[in-house]
């Protein structure tokens, strides 16, 4: 008899859980529906999106500015790298650590970087945007900075192919605190 009560109790709990999930689903549907109707009625401000429908946080098209939050660093590096001409002339602000070296940048350049992890800790690699800065030699590799500057695009050649490369012309550089965590590719 105890086995029957136990199964009955588990069944009731499972039934309540399914019922809760059902109501959560209805609530989510209603929220989506009300958001769509409010947007259609013009009651809600439109969000800036890219061609894939991704919301572009920190973008102000009117002022031509991009403020990159720590959580959106990877997103913005990929977005700007995939659409360099779209953001030419935009003012940008982001925080990263200084990466330098002849394999990475030219003499008066550094990369404002974060560590990208695609699978596990063994595959981390710096990801960022190249920054033109006439005082790069004074920067300590690995130090954290907040970069403000203007985006431009240069042409780079790799393996006999020409590519557009987004870069930042630094207008202001501020020492910053280290940002913990990784950037993920997806």
Q: Does the domain made of 59-184 have the CATH classification 2.40.50.140?
A: yes
Cα torsion for 62, 172, 78, 116, to the nearest 10°? -150
Supply the pTM of this predicted model: 0.71
The full set of domain ranges for the chain reads: 1-45, 59-184
Query: Which of 37-46, 93-102, 135-144 has the lowest average pLDDT?
Result: 37-46
Sign of CA dihedral 120, 121, 123, 129: positive
Residue 128 has pLDDT above 70, yes or no: yes
Report the percentage of the chain scoring pLDDT > 90.
Answer: 56
Report how far residue 172's alpha carbon sits from residue 114's, in angstroms, rounded to the nearest whole number: 19
106 vs 86, residue with greater confidence: 86
The length of the chain in residues reads: 186
DSSP state of 42: T
Say which DSSP state 116 is in.
E
What is the residue-averaged pLDDT of the chain? Answer: 79
Ranges 20-24, 61-65, 130-134: which has the least confidence: 20-24
- Please check the confidence at residue 174 and state whether its pLDDT lies above 80: yes
């Amino acid at each position: 008899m105890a086995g029957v009560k136990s199964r009955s109790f588990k069944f009731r709990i499972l039934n309540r859980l399914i019922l809760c999930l059902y109501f959560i689903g209805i609530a989510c549907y209603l929220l989506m529906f009300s958001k769509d109707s409010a947007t259609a009625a013009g009651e809600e401000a439109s969000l800036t999106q890219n061609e894939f429908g991704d919301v572009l946080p920190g973008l102000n098209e009117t002022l031509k500015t991009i403020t990159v939050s720590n959580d959106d660093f990877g997103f913005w590096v990929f977005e700007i790298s995939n659409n360099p001409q779209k953001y030419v002339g935009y003012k940008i602000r982001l925080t990263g650590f200084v990466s330098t070296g002849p394999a990475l940048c030219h003499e008066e350049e550094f990369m404002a970087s974060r560590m990208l992890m695609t699978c596990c800790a063994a595959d981390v690699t710096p990801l960022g945007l190249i920054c033109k800065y006439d005082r790069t030699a004074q920067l300590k590799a690995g130090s954290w900075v907040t970069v403000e500057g203007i985006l431009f695009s240069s042409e780079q050649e790799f393996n006999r192919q020409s590519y557009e490369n987004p870069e930042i012309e630094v207008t202001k550089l501020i020492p910053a605190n280290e940002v913990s965590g990784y950037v993920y590719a997806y």
